[in-house]
A and B are shown apart, each in its own frame.
Chain A
Amino acid sequence: MSVARKALEMTRAATEAIVQRAETRYEAHRQEILRSTDRIFAWLMIGQWIFAIAVALIFSPYGWQGKVKTVHMHVWVALFLGAAIISLPVALAWRRPGELLTRHVIAAGQMLSSALLIHLSGGRIETHFHVFGSLAFLAFYRDWPVLVTGTVVVATEHLIRGIVWPESVYGIPNPEWWRFLEHAFWVVFCVSILIPSCRRGVRDMRVMAERGAELEALSENQWRNSSVVDRAAADTRGDR
């Protein structure tokens, strides 16, 4: 095999190895972000569940039928519906962190947690802020389709609940039929800014990984040049 051909093959092999390592670094960084965000949401959802139970206990602990005092339905709703909403996302976050399904289930669960809090607060407009905070937290994943899942779930939930039980979501019995569209508009407004931000975050991770590859390539070149110099020096010594 000629020296030129051997050198070409060495360059190809080194290039492949460096590109592969860059891809591995990028994927490892991405997985680290996905997994840590899954864990954040697992704890957040447990915290929200406890908070929802506390809200129900503080604001509507008892119901009255004449002189008969019973535990208010809201307490049971917070306890059991809340547990049902968070159980799958939390289980997936612990058992299957970093997987695509996990973060989409978490996005849906987080929006349903918002819905539960809105219901428990009697449709208070201020509790709707929870939706926007949740979208911002979902952006931690830097995976924009997760935001689409969250948007679809919250818009659908508002539409259905707005028809079936409008007081539960808007706090009034007869809102305009299009009220859910107004809420959905502001969600889309928020998401339309978060999506480019997520894409930029992914691009930055890619650039970091590629930057590392370029530096490795440079180091490889310097190593080769120094080897050539060493060989030339050895040859010179041998000639003497």
Chain B
Amino acid sequence: MTVDTNVEIRKGYDRVEVPAAGGGKRSLTRKQFETLPLRERVSYLIEGNAQFFLDGRPISASEAMRT
């Protein structure tokens, strides 16, 4: 059995877009998202209306939550 040593190190996400209060979207860095109240983060994730990005590329929430 061979082991692939070139496995990409997962980075999670570096940016996220969430709904803005007055409609539209607001873009947050990972740090800004993580400092939102837990209740708010959880509701975005349940409703599935947070779009995560890594290096400008949209990624799924489950991929974003890996790290």
Residues of chain A touching chain B, judged by Cβ–Cβ distance below 8 Å, are 11-12, 14-16, 18-19, 22, 210, 213-218, 220-222, 224-225
16 pairs, CB–CB < 8 Å, chain A vs chain B:
A11-B43, A15-B39, A18-B42, A18-B46, A19-B42, A210-B41, A213-B41, A213-B42, A214-B42, A214-B45, A214-B65, A215-B65, A217-B41, A217-B43, A220-B46, A221-B45
Does B5 count as interface, using CB distance less than 8 angstroms? no
Does B55 count as interface, using CB distance less than 8 angstroms? no
Q: Which residues of A contact B62 (CB under 8 A)?
A: 218, 222
Residues of chain B touching chain A, judged by Cβ–Cβ distance below 8 Å, are 38-39, 41-43, 45-48, 61-62, 65
Number of residue pairs spanning A and B whose beta carbons lie under 8 angstroms apart = 47
Given A214-B65, A215-B65, check contact A221 B41 (CB 8 Å). Answer: no
Q: How far is the CB of B16 from chain A (nearest CB, A)?
A: 12
- The majority secondary structure among interface residues of chain B is helix
The 3 closest A-B pairs by CB, nearest first: A217-B45, A217-B42, A15-B43
Complex contact B48–A15 (CB within 8 A) = no
Complex contact B46–A11 (CB within 8 A) = yes
Complex contact A221–B42 (CB within 8 A) = no
Given A218-B61, A218-B62, A221-B61, check contact A210 B38 (CB 8 Å). Answer: yes
Chain B residue at minimal CB-CB distance from A225:
B48
Given A214-B65, A218-B61, A218-B62, check contact A224 B46 (CB 8 Å). Answer: yes
Q: Which residues of A contact B38 (CB under 8 A)?
A: 19, 22, 210, 213
Q: Which residues of A contact B46 (CB under 8 A)?
A: 11, 14-15, 18, 217, 220-221, 224
The residue in A210, A214, A215, A216 that gathers the most chain B C-beta atoms within 10 A of its C-beta is A214
Complex contact A218–B39 (CB within 8 A) = no
Given A15-B39, A19-B38, A19-B39, check contact A218 B47 (CB 8 Å). Answer: no
